[in-house]
Amino acid sequence: MDRRPAGGSHDRNGLHLLPDHRGRDIRPQAPTHVLVMPKVHIGSLAESVDERLAGRLLFVAAEIARKEKLENGWRLIVNTGAHGGQEVPHLHLHVVGGKKLGRMLPQTS
């Protein structure tokens, strides 16, 4: 099954120095559902990840949220491993927003 982000990827000035890809999720879970992923292959967050690259991924995610005008809030999701719901064997972050999001996990007493 092809799970590459819809719409491809794009760079802007400066991003080529710290590589990343961005694209819309092919099965969006909210009005805004953008993927952020490194160009270099990293299977998941369980693998060793360079601190600078990890910071860059977070920075780009926040930048996308600002550009998408998600000022009422947004969620950043990183699925890791089978129990974490990871379906694609490449590290990627989901920037999700554009509507009120429900609880991520069921409330426990």
Residues forming the active site: 92
- Residue among 39, 34, 92 nearest 63 (CA): 34
The 8-class DSSP code of residue 4 comes to: P
Return the bridge partners of 35, or none: 23, 94
CA dist., res. 93 & res. 14, Å (int):
20
Distance from C-alpha of 79 to C-alpha of 89, rounded to nearest angstrom:
10
Q: Among 97, 95, 87, which residue's Cα sits nearest to residue 4? A: 87
